[in-house]
A and B are shown apart, each in its own frame.
Chain A
Amino acid sequence: MHFLESRGYPLGIASLGLIAVSLYLSLLWAPPDVNQGDVMRIMYVHVPTIMLAYAAFGLVLVGSVLYLWKRDLRWDRFAAANGELGVLFTALAIAAGSIWAKPTWGVYWTWDPRLTTTAILFVIYAGYLMLRALQTDPLARARQSAVVGVIGVLDIPIVHESVNWWRSLHQTSSFPLMRDPLIDDRMEVALLVSMAAFTVLYLFLLGQRLRLARLEQDRDELLWQEAQRV
């Protein structure tokens, strides 16, 4: 955690550089899709944002389990920081996907299994953040949100497999982990660079968010000590 907090400057610069390269590859270098045309380029922001949202909620699970086990508030801060970023990246993935859907499906939104389960994922973790905002006792907040953080992650495999389990408008994965990608080599390179750019940006934002959470916890402790002195 300290590593990310103290590497803000290099991570910020690296993410800006990678985003510039990624924009060039995504918008100019990679070819348009034979069926979808240029609209397919939205994939270069949609796929990395949803993959990072999955990763963020996985890290919420890690932080939540470690908090429940060790009762160390550092893990609660780690889960909270990833929860906030996960909600942000889920919202961005939904927004980019909706913009892609309009010219492709004719509507911005439809109650397709993939879209519906992703919307549920967003609501679960928005609820996680609301619970954290409403609970004023830090220990109760950490315990209760850790339970939500463990349960909420169960929706991720449902979201991911929804296109295989149910009849869905949403295409299946174009970038399966265990097989060769189903896309052109240049599209694959552009997508990988875009994923790298978003990942470095995520690490930069996570470091800053962790720093903020530590400062807020220090403030609460100082105010608590002050209140006890009075």
Chain B
Amino acid sequence: MSEWGYVAFAFIVVFGVLAAYTVLLAHRLRQAQRVDEALREGEDVACDGHPVP
């Protein structure tokens, strides 16, 4: 691989992972907001969080 090939590889890995994390975080936030709203309105919700002690 050329020098620029390694540079492109590193930048794509770093910014690709950061973009993927940002999308995942946005998805988790949307899901948490939906659960929060449903709980406040007293609906039944399927929740994949930790069991409440």
Contact = CB atoms under 8 A, between A and B. Distances in A.
A41 interface: yes
Contact of B33 (A39, A215, A220, A226): A215
A55 to B, nearest CB: 16
Interface residues of B, number: 31
Interface residues of A, number: 39
Interface string B1-41: 10110110111011101100110011011001101100110
A226 B14 contact: no
B53 A219 contact: no
A171 to B, nearest CB: 17
B52 interface: yes
A37 to B, nearest CB: 5
Q: Interface centre among A41, A91, A102, by most B CB within 10 Å?
A: A41
Given A41-B7, A102-B6, A136 B49 contact: no
Contacts of A46: 10
7 contacts: A38-B3, A100-B10, A136-B51, A136-B53, A208-B25, A212-B32, A220-B49
